[in-house]
Structure formats: structure tokens, C-alpha cells
């Protein structure tokens, strides 16, 4: 593989030298090292080793040659026109040549190993393990949504290890995800096409990051954690080689899934959530996978994914946290939302208990949820998903400060909103109530309020007068005047129903 002088400088052990660099750190053009002799035709893809006294006249030296010399070079060489390392004059030329040649051989062998791993269709983990000798720090690979695919780390005492075997295939914790998605520096790393170093503020150590892309879409990233050795400048250049072979593995060998659902189960859930019929036998097959019955008790939640959640790619991480921490649940992403389905029968918990547990994930995740009623037939999932959607839509409008919107709290309001949409109250309300309302406005009375309280208390006189702080005689007189003014027959059920709906409609205006 082609190197640059940054790599040579970082891996040249046992020698003391000074350096200057003209090329950017990400440029690599060096194929090998040659001993310089007088009259040699210099090329930019070779590293030349020479005594300082044997270097050609300064005027014959052009920019961007790569030179390692023993002794201090002429002043003209120190004006940033070449990539240069220079050592003490008592350095052994043969020893220096051998040390540099060993660096080229080391990285040639590394690349050969990476190629072999790819052609043998081994995992990305094997690539990372083969790269520990290069970076000398723990190496990990995360999907774009913060799931740990694999890691490689040198053996150390347990208390010094950064990872353990149970970490693989896990998403970052909900606390880590929430901290990162509001970290502006982390958001910038998502956009990067070059290796970047993430500062130590979030985790206590710096991390060298390089994003892996397939068809220009960011799908994963390689992370080198600065816990064993300081990150070297040349690591930013070398990580691109590891990324190249990792991307090849992702394109040709990777078939990772984001959940543990059986094959085609997601498609069946999509059909149900879209209110389309599914084959009963097929449905029971998938329910058997969870040891569920189609007649168990369920409820579902809709957690809409904001454009921000999409941009920082944390929705899958939250989905994973929900599915692993809420027992007897199933999680899927549908219509720009996370859909959480919970089996109450199998979990032996109530809806209220589950929502109490859910509060931690929703509040910390800056996400809100619409919640359906309980239902007892899995095939009707689509209907109750609609309830959860309605609850979220209504709650977001009427109770913006809450985090959880239960359908039963908004069902009547939704019904009234839909029925009255586009109509004036004069069209929908029972006339007697409108007359009574007009009378109150003209005479400064509160007969409408009295009537409403009377109906809300099921026309129970004792309860009504306690609420209104009225004497019985006073209330009976007011009730008589209400029926005279409005002409309403309160003994008729349909009249009472129309009245209560009319009160709700009037509250909108």
C-alpha cells in the first residue's frame, strides 16, 4: 500500500528526528524507500534516504518530494518545499534504511491481510482484529443508528477493557443516545466524508471516527477509542484503508437486520397497520413465534419520529431499547413512527404499569406517544393503531405539555371535531340551547351553566345543587325557567344527547 511521510514519522521507532510536511495528511503516494545518489532523477512516489551533504542543489529540488536525511539539510530545504525528516549526523544509514523498509513491509502485510479477509468473506470483526497492531487502541464498528456491530481490543485486565462480549449487537444506552443527538459536534461528524476526531467530553476519551458509505449513504462508522495509546496523526490516513475494506464487506457480505422478527413478519405487520386483511394461518404462525394468542389482550403506542430524529439516526436505537426493556412487546417502524405493541396477557402487567415504565424512555428521548385502548383480537391491530394516531394528533393540539396521550381522553373531542369541521354552531347545535345562550347574554344569567351541570350529574337534583351551591327551591325555579325559555324536553334521551354534544361544540368557539 502507498504511505506518506506522516506514517513513517509515527512508526519510526528508536530514532530522534525533526520533521516538516508539505503534503496534506490524507495524501498517500509513497511506494517504497530508495537510497539517494548524485544525479538520481527524483520522483514524488518514492521516499529518498540520503546524507544531508549529498542532497542535490536546492534549485533542483521541487516541492512535494519526500526525503529522510542524516544531518541538517541546507536552509533552502527548510522552507516547506519538501516533506522532510532529518536526523542526527551520527545515525547509521543502514540501520535507518532497514527501519524504514520494515515500516513499508509492515503496512504491505497489513493490506494483504485485509484483502485476504475480504476474499475469504470473513466478518468486519476480522478486519478490526487484524488492525489492532496498526492503531494500538480498541476498534469498534457501529451502524449509523448506534448499534455495535463488532469490536476488537487487545487483551488486558478486565477492569481496563473497554468492551465485553455482551456488548456486541447492542445499541448504545438511551442516556448515551439522548446525549449524542443534542451534541452539535456529534451531528457534524455524521456529515463528514473525512476521518474526524470526536472530543473526549462525551465519553471521557477521544474517538477517531470514519464513516462508511454505500452508494453515498452513511450506513456505519469505524471508531478507534483513545484509551490505550494516544491517537497518532497518521491514524487519520490509515483508518481510510480499514474503512475501504469494511465498506467492501458491507456491500458484498453484510445482511444485518435491525430487529429479531422472523422473516416476513414486518410485512405482515405493515399489512395489519394499513388495515388490510392477512391470511389467518400465516398470522397465527408468527404469533406462535412470540408464544402469543390472537385473543390475548393488547394495546399499541405510536411514537412519531421527528425529522430531527431521522437526521441524527437514533430511531432504531430507541426501537431497540423499547423492545429489549419492555417484555412481551413487539416494535416496528411504520409511517414515520415507532409502533410499540404490548401483550398485556403475557406480560401480566396492566396498561397503566406499562405506561409508567414507558415514561422513562419517552421523556428522556424527547418523544411523545399516542396510546390506544386495550383490544383482544390481534387481527384488529390496524383499528387500534388508528386510535393511537388520533390520540397523538389530538393530544399534541390540546395538551402540548403532556408526553402521553391516551385515546379515551380524546375520543369524544375527536368525534366532535370531525363532525363539526367546517360548520357553524348554528347549524349543528340544538336550537333550544342557542335560545337559552342568547337569553343569558341579554339578561346576564347563567342558565346554560346550570343546565350543563344538571345534565352532567344525570339530572340528580341533590348533586346539582351541591355543585352550584344553590338552595333546592332556587334551583327548581331556575330549571322551570330554563325549560320555558328553551322549549327543551329533558325527559327525552335524544334531546339530552344532542344537548351535551351541543355544549361540547360551543366550547370550540
Adjacency order of strands within the sheet including 404-406: 329-334, 337-343, 298-304, 369-371, 404-406
Q: Cell match 439516526: residue? A: 313
pLDDT score of 169: 63
pLDDT score of 433: 93
Q: What is the mean pLDDT of each run of 10 residues along the chain (509 residues)?
A: 96 94 93 91 91 79 82 84 90 95 97 92 91 96 84 90 77 72 81 92 92 81 95 97 91 54 80 90 86 92 74 63 82 89 92 86 71 94 96 92 92 88 87 93 94 94 94 94 93 93 84
pLDDT score of 256: 45
Q: Cell match 477493557: residue? A: 161
pLDDT score of 208: 96
Q: How far apart are CA 98 and CA 95, in angstroms?
A: 5
pLDDT score of 259: 53
| Whole-prediction pTM | 0.58
Residue closest to 221 by CA, chosen among 311, 128, 112, 108: 128
Q: Cell match 463488532: residue? A: 150
Question: 303 and 340 in contact (C-beta within 8 Å)?
Answer: yes
pLDDT score of 255: 44
The Cα-based distances of 169 to 166, 232, 465 in angstroms read 8, 29, 64
Indicate the CATH number for domain 265-415: 3.30.70
pLDDT score of 309: 57
Q: How far apart are CA 36 and CA 52, in angstroms?
A: 10
The Cα-based distances of 306 to 190, 251, 368, 386 in angstroms read 17, 29, 10, 19
pLDDT score of 480: 95
Question: Does domain 5-103 fall into CATH 3.40.1390?
Answer: yes
Q: Is 81 exposed, middle or buried (0-12, 13-18, 19+ CB in 10 A)?
A: middle
Q: How far apart are CA 65 and CA 404, in angstroms?
A: 65
Selected from 3.10.129.10, 1.10.10.2840, 1.20.1540.10, 1.10.3720.10, the CATH number assigned to the domain covering 422-507 reads: 1.10.10.2840
Tell me the domain boundaries of the chain. 5-103, 121-252, 265-415, 422-507
| 3 state DSSP class of 390 | helix
Question: Does domain 121-252 fall into CATH 1.10.4080.10?
Answer: no
Amino acid at each position: 500500500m502507498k504511505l506518506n511521510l506522516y506514517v513513517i514519522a509515527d512508526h519510526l521507532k528508536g530514532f530522534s528526528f525533526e520533521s516538516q510536511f508539505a503534503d496534506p495528511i490524507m495524501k498517500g503516494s509513497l511506494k517504497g524507500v530508495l537510497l539517494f545518489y548524485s544525479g538520481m532523477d527524483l520522483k514524488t512516489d518514492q521516499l529518498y534516504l540520503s546524507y544531508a551533504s549529498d542532497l542535490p542543489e536546492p534549485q533542483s529540488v521541487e516541492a512535494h518530494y519526500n526525503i529522510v536525511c542524516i544531518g541538517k539539510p541546507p536552509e533552502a530545504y527548510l522552507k516547506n518545499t519538501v516533506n522532510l525528516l532529518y536526523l542526527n549526523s551520527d545515525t547509521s544509514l543502514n540501520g535507518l534504511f532497514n527501519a524504514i523498509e520494515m515500516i513499508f513491509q509492515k503496512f504491505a502485510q497489513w493490506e494483504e491481510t485485509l484483502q485476504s479477509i475480504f476474499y475469504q468473506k470473513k466478518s468486519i470483526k476480522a478486519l478490526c482484529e487484524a488492525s489492532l497492531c496498526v492503531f494500538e487502541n480498541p476498534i469498534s464498528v457501529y451502524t449509523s443508528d448506534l448499534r455495535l456491530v463488532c469490536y476488537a481490543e487487545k487483551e488486558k485486565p478486565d477492569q481496563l477493557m473497554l468492551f465485553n462480549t455482551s456488548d456486541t449487537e447492542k445499541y448504545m444506552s438511551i442516556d448515551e443516545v439522548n446525549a449524542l443527538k443534542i451534541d452539535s459536534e456529534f451531528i457534524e461528524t455524521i456529515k463528514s466524508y473525512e476521518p474526524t476526531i470526536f472530543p473526549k467530553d462525551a465519553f471521557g476519551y477521544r474517538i477517531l471516527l470514519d464513516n462508511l458509505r454505500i452508494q453515498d449513504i452513511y450506513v456505519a462508522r469505524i471508531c478507534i477509542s483513545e484509551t490505550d495509546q494516544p491517537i497518532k496523526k497518521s491514524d487519520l490516513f490509515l483508518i481510510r484503508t480499514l474503512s475501504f475494506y469494511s465498506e467492501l464487506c458491507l456491500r458484498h457480505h453484510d445482511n444485518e437486520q435491525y430487529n429479531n422478527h422472523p422473516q416476513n413478519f414486518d410485512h405482515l405487520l405493515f399489512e395489519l397497520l394499513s388495515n388490510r386483511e392477512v391470511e389467518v394461518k400465516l398470522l397465527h404462525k408468527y404469533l406462535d413465534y412470540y408464544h402469543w394468542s390472537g385473543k390475548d389482550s393488547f394495546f399499541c403506542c405510536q411514537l412519531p419520529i421527528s425529522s430531527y430524529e431521522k437526521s441524527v439516526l437514533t430511531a432504531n436505537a430507541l426501537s431497540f431499547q423499547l423492545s429489549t426493556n419492555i417484555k412481551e412487546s413487539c416494535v416496528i417502524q411504520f409511517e414515520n413512527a415507532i409502533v410499540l405493541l404490548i401483550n398485556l396477557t403475557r406480560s401480566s402487567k396492566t396498561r397503566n404499569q406499562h405506561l409508567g415504565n414507558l415514561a422513562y424512555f419517552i421523556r428522556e428521548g424527547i418523544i411523545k406517544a399516542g396510546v390506544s385502548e386495550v383490544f383482544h383480537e390481534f387481527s384488529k391491530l390496524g383499528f387500534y393503531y388508528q386510535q393511537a394516531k388520533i390520540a397523538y394528533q389530538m393530544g399534541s393540539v390540546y395538551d402540548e405539555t403532556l408526553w402521553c396521550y391516551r385515546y379515551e381522553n380524546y375520543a369524544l373531542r375527536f368525534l366532535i371535531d370531525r363532525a363539526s369541521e367546517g360548520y357553524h354552531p348554528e347549524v349543528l347545535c340544538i336550537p333550544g340551547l342557542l335560545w337559552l345562550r342568547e337569553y343569558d347574554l341579554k339578561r346576564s344569567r347563567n342558565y346554560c351553566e346550570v343546565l350543563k351541570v344538571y345534565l352532567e350529574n344525570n339530572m340528580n337534583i341533590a348533586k346539582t345543587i351541591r355543585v352550584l351551591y344553590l338552595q333546592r327551591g332556587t334551583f327548581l325555579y331556575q330549571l322551570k325557567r330554563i325549560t320555558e325559555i328553551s322549549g327543551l324536553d329533558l325527559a327525552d334521551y335524544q334531546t339530552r344527547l344532542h344537548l351535551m354534544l351541543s355544549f361540547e361544540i360551543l366550547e370550540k368557539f
